[in-house]
């Protein structure tokens, strides 16, 4: 029994695996693009299948296809989503810049399944792709897939991270540590103030990201080939968005200008830019954790991160800050993804951007990486670290920068002399100040109290 069958398209005959649900155009793409051996991301394919179901429902409403054809297409799409659908989508990320190969892959697979359900032919182009072009369905799918991952994964993960940080800030509020600027000793801060700073960074980034959702949820669908809407019903864009909103429980709307949404990917570039900003924040938080955890003897040793695994194949007992390290690598990757999207976003040549698949891949990669790493950072690093209070107190007692509090009384120059002597002699600043000023110890203890130097203990 042959393991192939013959399929035909407008370019002629082609051998396709006998058990494949896809047809000739998908097979041509498989043959033409053996480049990365990476398929389009699963969230993208999921969104594309949902878009095909929404299109079928809209086309039935508008009497562009029969009710039985529409039902078969919707049922086929639903069946795919309930199973291991990725096995039917073999097209490489690096393919035609419009994503036509992925669009036809979906059309062919759904048409095969719909034909079986209906008992008569359902055509990939005439029925499944009715009212659509790759040039509007792929930009639409980029927006839909990114919006769904944002709503379902990334935003909940970032909000969870903020919640964990704020909860930990309350827990560590009593602890005061040496602040650092330029990695050098500075005025004291509360541990809670450090964490509240992290939380505010993330809150601002979340607000900016949420502000982009209306643009991301505005769709190119209905523009077809170049934005004019040729071959699509005049009400198709509106009906499509309504049906997709019903299927996903996320409110999608037709774009105000379909030429812009097909010819450019500015919204994807903007979202990616905001994801890069989040990556920068996570890099800062991860590195703060690594520095505070460093040592434990020869480093700062201010906190102890949860020990998760042996840190060395040769040095027994070594434990490394693996979650912050992994988070920092995620941040680096997201920054790199943004560079790719920035270059790809410039490839809007006249009426179509021709780097759509790589925009989809990198945008979804960034969204999922940030979601997963944020939860790990929250639960396996921030929630569980312990404060080394003796180390904090030891460093504070020897911190000559506390003398800054004496500036209004003895002047900057005199304070600098005291600080230098304290450094040189390795003595507490209060002892040196007692010898070089007329201030009594009781007053110095009040002036140099680290708690009072952290904004009155607030």
The three-state DSSP-derived secondary structure of 79-129 is HHHCCCHHHHCCCECCCCCCCHHHHHHHHHHHHHHHHHHHCCCCCHHHHHC
Q: Cα 10 from chain centroid?
A: 40
Confidence of residue 457 (pLDDT cuts 50, 70, 90): very low
Residue 336 lies in a domain: yes
End-of-domain residue from the set 371, 389, 407 = 389
**In this structure, are 251 and 191 located in the same domain?**
yes
pLDDT over threshold 60, residue 458: no
**In this structure, are 24 and 84 located in the same domain?**
yes
Residue 13 lies in a domain: no
Query: Binding site annotation covers 100?
Result: yes
Residue 182 falls in the annotated catalytic set: yes
The residue-averaged pLDDT of 438-451 equals: 94
pLDDT over threshold 90, residue 418: yes
Confidence of residue 397 (pLDDT cuts 50, 70, 90): confident
pLDDT value for 375: 98
* CATH code of residue 82: 1.10.275.10
Dump pLDDT digits (tens) for 263-292: 999 999 999 999 999 999 999 999 999 999
Provide the token pair at 142.
């980029």
End-of-domain residue from the set 349, 364, 389 = 389
**In this structure, are 68 and 187 located in the same domain?**
no
Query: Binding site annotation covers 404?
Result: no
**In this structure, are 84 and 218 located in the same domain?**
no
* CATH code of residue 424: 1.10.40.30
Catalytic residue, candidates 182, 215, 245, 374: 182
pLDDT value for 456: 54
pLDDT over threshold 80, residue 130: yes
**In this structure, are 316 and 450 located in the same domain?**
no
Residue 7 lies in a domain: no
**In this structure, are 170 and 254 located in the same domain?**
yes
Catalytic residue, candidates 36, 37, 246, 312: 312
**In this structure, are 114 and 141 located in the same domain?**
no
End-of-domain residue from the set 98, 130, 162 = 130
Domain residues for the domain of 424 are: 399-454
**In this structure, are 98 and 145 located in the same domain?**
no
**In this structure, are 111 and 206 located in the same domain?**
no
Residue 127 falls in the annotated catalytic set: no
Provide the token pair at 23.
């047809």
pLDDT over threshold 70, residue 93: yes
Dump pLDDT digits (tens) for 4-42: 999 999 999 999 999 999 999 999 999 999 999 999 999
Query: Binding site annotation covers 327?
Result: no
Query: Binding site annotation covers 125?
Result: yes
**In this structure, are 74 and 148 located in the same domain?**
no
Query: Binding site annotation covers 316?
Result: no
Query: Binding site annotation covers 399?
Result: no
**In this structure, are 205 and 78 located in the same domain?**
no
Rounded to the nearest 10 degrees, the angle between the axes of helix 266-293 and helix 356-377 is: 30
Number of structural domains in the chain? 3
Dump pLDDT digits (tens) for 302-353: 999 999 999 999 999 999 999 999 999 999 999 999 999 999 999 999 999 9
**In this structure, are 78 and 145 located in the same domain?**
no
Q: Across all residues in the chain, what is the average pLDDT?
A: 97
The residue-averaged pLDDT of 206-221 equals: 98
Query: Binding site annotation covers 276?
Result: no
């Amino acid at each position: 029994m042959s393991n192939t069958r013959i399929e035909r398209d407008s370019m002629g005959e082609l051998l396709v695996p006998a058990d494949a649900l896809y047809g000739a155009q998908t097979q041509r793409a498989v043959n033409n693009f053996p480049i990365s051996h990476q398929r389009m991301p699963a969230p993208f394919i999921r969104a594309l299948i949902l878009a095909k179901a929404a299109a079928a429902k809209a086309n039935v409403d508008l009497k562009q296809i029969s009710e039985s054809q529409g039902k078969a297409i919707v049922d086929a799409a639903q069946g795919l989503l309930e199973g291991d659908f990725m096995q039917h989508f073999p097209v490489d990320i690096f393919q035609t810049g419009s994503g036509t190969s992925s669009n036809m892959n979906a059309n062919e697979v759904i048409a095969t399944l719909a034909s079986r359900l209906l008992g008569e032919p359902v055509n990939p182009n005439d029925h499944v792709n009715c009212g659509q072009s790759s040039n509007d369905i792929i930009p639409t799918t980029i927006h839909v897939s990114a919006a769904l991952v944002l709503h379902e994964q990334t935003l909940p993960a970032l909000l969870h991270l903020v919640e964990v940080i704020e909860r930990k800030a309350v827990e560590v509020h009593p602890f005061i540590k040496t602040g650092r600027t330029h990695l050098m000793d500075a005025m004291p801060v509360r541990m809670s103030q450090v964490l509240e700073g992290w939380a505010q960074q993330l809150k601002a980034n979340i607000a900016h990201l949420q502000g982009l959702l209306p643009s991301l949820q505005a769709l190119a669908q209905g523009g077809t080939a170049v934005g004019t809407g040729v071959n699509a019903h005049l009400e198709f864009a509106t009906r499509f968005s309504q049906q997709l909103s019903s299927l996903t429980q996320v409110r999608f709307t037709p774009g105000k200008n379909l030429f812009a949404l097909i010819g450019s990917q500015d919204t994807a570039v903007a979202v990616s830019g905001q994801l890069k900003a989040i990556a920068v924040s996570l890099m800062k938080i991860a590195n703060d954790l690594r520095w505070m955890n460093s040592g434990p003897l020869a480093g700062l040793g201010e906190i102890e991160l949860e020990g998760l695994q042996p840190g060395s194949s040769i040095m027994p007992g070594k434990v490394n800050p693996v979650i912050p390290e992994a988070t920092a690598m995620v941040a680096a990757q997201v920054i790199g993804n943004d560079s790719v999207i920035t270059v790809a976003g410039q490839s809007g040549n006249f009426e179509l951007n021709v780097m759509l698949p790589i925009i989809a891949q990198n945008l979804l990669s960034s969204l999922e990486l940030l979601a997963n790493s944020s939860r790990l950072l929250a639960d396996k690093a921030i929630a569980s670290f312990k404060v080394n209070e003796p180390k904090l107190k030891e460093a504070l007692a020897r911190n000559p920068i506390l003398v800054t509090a004496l500036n209004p009384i003895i002047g900057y120059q005199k304070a600098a002399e005291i600080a230098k002597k304290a450094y040189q002699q390795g003595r507490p600043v209060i002892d040196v100040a007692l010898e070089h000023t007329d201030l009594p110890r009781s007053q110095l203890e009040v002036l140099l109290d680290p708690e009072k130097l952290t904004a009155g203990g607030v």
